[in-house]
């Protein structure tokens, strides 16, 4: 039988004694001997390959910015809760319901922590004790410090004009700068001064087509090459160009003539594919929708042509009582809008032969027509000299939305595909170009330079540059819209070479 052993008094295990000796703990014999003095173990220095810097100096430098306030957060009193709830309720009423504020001072929260000793520890005692990249509010005496409502860091949804939220309003975005002069001007001799014609169009392949008298010219923005496509001066009877329109892919160009013909050209081969008849008078406007080509004429009719079919046209749209001078397909290719010299704006669907919607609010010829690429069914139209208005319509609900009196004849309209803006060109009496912000219809820029009516307008495929033509026989290039980030604007040097090449 194993009996437990009782340790001898005063005896200590060797391992425990060694540990006590290293830690400086007196042994049992020393504690019993009052004369024994405390003996600390001899310090031993060890070396290693790692250098660990001391933090004591950094701690002393940063002591002044340490937050030593470890006390529990103060609980707001009932009166402070009531003041905060009342101010918040007043702000909501003012911002959402339009109820004016009865308070004469802006919102302010009482500083319950002012004057505490811990605030002295938060502020550096000397300029040299400031810590880099430490976020803090700006100095009130700083020359860059402005009114709170002008701070560029404010992102509040509260209106700027709201007196209750003037300390947290959002910064006002700087207006986009638009050059007030064209960056290039091209001489275009024999460009007709006729309100009812459409002689300029820009293709998806970045090629500009211009009808000058009896000829059609092509200019490539990529190669700066000018090509004469056709010349009707030798035809019998002599003919002239009244309209040009590119197919959606930019591979084919349709040309409407004064004799009522509609020609289809393959621009890659500089070859006419076919001539389509059907109109008894000049063809002043055309529009493409996939393989469907629509043409409007002075004979008051609109012909729907399937370029794949052998027939000259598949449908005849009858409704206008005067010359058709404007045609535009909707972005979804389901509706086509037409404007005429009878002051009417009609909307037709793909298979109808009579208008499904009629708008009769204009008081002059309707040539300017543009569908919005940003909102389904939104249509803009402009009237002539006796009307001077831009009107907006909803084709889905058959309602008028807005009317803007521009003060002069509206010749063309075109939406930006990149932003919700619209550009208009004008004739009598201002001869100007206006860029509008939709739906507020605030003027972003007014461009001048043409000396006669700005009758022609086309937009580059990237949606950034427009070209305008006028009876003063000039084509002017303007940068008016912001371009997409993935694409660049039209090459300035390429456009410059166009100016050096006179189109004749």
Q: What is the pLDDT of residues 351-376, one digit of tens each?
A: 889 999 999 999 999 999 999 999 99
Say which range, 18-27, 162-171, 389-398, 445-454, has the weakest mean pLDDT.
162-171
Q: Check residues 71 and 51 and name the one with the higher pLDDT.
A: 51
Where b means 16+ CB within 10 Å and e means fewer, 412-447 reads: bbbbbbbebbbbbbbbeebbbbbbbebeeeeebbeb
Q: What is the pLDDT of residues 218-229, one digit of tens each?
A: 988 888 889 999
pLDDT at 262: 98
The structural domains of the chain, ordered by start, are 142-174 (no CATH), 184-500 (2.130.10.10)
Residue 114 has pLDDT above 60, yes or no: no
State the virtual CA torsion across 158, 164, 169, 173 in degrees, nearest 10: 80
**59 close to 122: Cβ distance less than 8 angstroms:** no
Residue 343 has pLDDT above 80, yes or no: yes
pLDDT band at 214 (very low <50, low <70, confident <90, very high): very high
Query: What are the residues facing 318 on neighbouring strands?
Result: 301
Q: What is the pLDDT of residues 82-95, one digit of tens each?
A: 666 777 777 777 77
pLDDT at 265: 97
**213 close to 228: Cβ distance less than 8 angstroms:** no
Residue 499 has pLDDT above 60, yes or no: no
Residue 149 has pLDDT above 60, yes or no: no
Share of the chain above pLDDT 90, in %: 56
Contacts (Cβ under 8 Å, ≥6 apart) of 3: none
Residue 81 has pLDDT above 70, yes or no: no
For the ranges 44-58, 101-115, 415-429, the one whose mean pLDDT is highest:
415-429
Cα gap 107→87, rounded to integer Å: 7
Cα gap 269→252, rounded to integer Å: 10
SS3 per-residue string spanning 327-388: EEECCCCCEEEEEECCCCEEEEECCCCCCCEEECCCCCCEEEEEECCCCCCEEEEEECCCCC
Say which range, 65-74, 137-146, 162-171, 435-444, has the weakest mean pLDDT.
137-146
Tell me whether residue 75 is exposed, middle or buried, using C-beta atoms within 10 angstroms of its C-beta: 0 to 12, 13 to 18, 19 or more.
exposed
User: Mean per-residue pLDDT for 252-269?
Assistant: 97
What DSSP character marks residue 157? -
pLDDT at 491: 47
pLDDT band at 488 (very low <50, low <70, confident <90, very high): very low
Average pLDDT score over the chain: 79
- Which tokens sit at 298? 């002075």
User: Mean per-residue pLDDT for 324-345?
Assistant: 97
Residue 195 has pLDDT above 50, yes or no: yes
Q: What is the pTM for the complete model shown?
A: 0.65
Residue 70 has pLDDT above 60, yes or no: no
């Amino acid at each position: 039988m194993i009996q437990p052993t009782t340790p001898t008094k005063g005896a200590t295990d060797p391992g425990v004694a060694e540990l006590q000796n290293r830690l400086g703990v007196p042994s049992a014999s020393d504690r019993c001997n009052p004369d024994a003095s405390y003996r600390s173990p001899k310090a031993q220095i060890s070396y290693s390959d790692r250098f660990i810097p001391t933090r004591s100096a950094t701690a002393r430098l940063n002591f002044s910015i340490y937050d030593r306030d470890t006390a529990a957060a103060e609980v707001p009193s009932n009166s402070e809760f009531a003041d905060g709830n009342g101010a918040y309720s007043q702000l909501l009423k003012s911002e959402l319901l339009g109820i004016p504020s009865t308070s004469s001072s802006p919102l302010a929260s009482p500083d319950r922590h002012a004057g505490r000793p811990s605030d002295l520890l938060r502020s550096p005692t000397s300029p040299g004790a400031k810590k880099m990249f430490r976020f803090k509010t700006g100095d009130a005496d700083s020359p860059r410090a402005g009114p709170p409502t002008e701070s560029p860091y404010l992102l509040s949804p509260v209106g700027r004009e709201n007196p209750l939220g003037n300390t947290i309003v959002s910064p006002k975005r700087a207006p986009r700068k638009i050059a007030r002069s064209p960056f290039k001007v091209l001489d275009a001799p024999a460009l007709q001064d006729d309100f009812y014609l459409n002689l300029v169009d820009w293709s998806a392949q970045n090629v500009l087509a211009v009808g000058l008298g009896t000829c059609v010219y092509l200019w490539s923005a990529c190669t700066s090459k000018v090509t004469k496509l056709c010349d009707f001066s030798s035809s019998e009877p002599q003919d002239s160009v009244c309209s040009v329109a590119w197919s959606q892919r930019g591979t084919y160009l349709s040309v409407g003539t004064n004799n009522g013909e509609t020609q289809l050209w393959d621009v890659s081969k500089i070859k006419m594919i076919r001539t389509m008849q059907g109109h008894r008078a000049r063809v002043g406007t055309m529009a493409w929708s996939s393989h469907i080509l629509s043409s409007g004429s002075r004979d008051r009719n609109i012909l729907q042509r399937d370029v794949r079919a052998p027939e000259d046209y598949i449908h005849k749209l009858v409704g206008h009582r005067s010359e058709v001078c404007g045609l535009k397909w909707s972005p979804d290719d389901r509706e086509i809008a037409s404007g005429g010299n009878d002051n009417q704006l009609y909307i037709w669907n793909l298979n109808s032969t009579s208008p499904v919607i009629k708008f009769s609010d204009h008081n002059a010829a309707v040539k300017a027509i543009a569908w919005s690429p940003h909102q389904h069914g939104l249509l803009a139209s402009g009237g002539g000299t006796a009307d001077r208005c831009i009107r907006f319509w909803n084709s889905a609900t058959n309602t008028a939305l807005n009317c803007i009196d521009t003060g002069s004849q509206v010749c063309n309209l075109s939406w930006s595909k990149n932003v919700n803006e619209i550009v208009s060109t004008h004739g009598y009496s201002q001869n100007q170009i206006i860029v509008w912000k939709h739906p507020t219809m605030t003027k972003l820029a007014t461009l001048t330079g043409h000396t006669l009516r700005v009758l022609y307008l086309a937009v580059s495929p990237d949606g950034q540059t427009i070209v305008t033509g006028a009876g003063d026989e000039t084509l002017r290039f303007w940068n008016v819209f912001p371009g997409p980030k993935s694409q660049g604007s039209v090459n300035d040097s390429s456009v410059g070479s166009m100016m050096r090449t006179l189109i004749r």
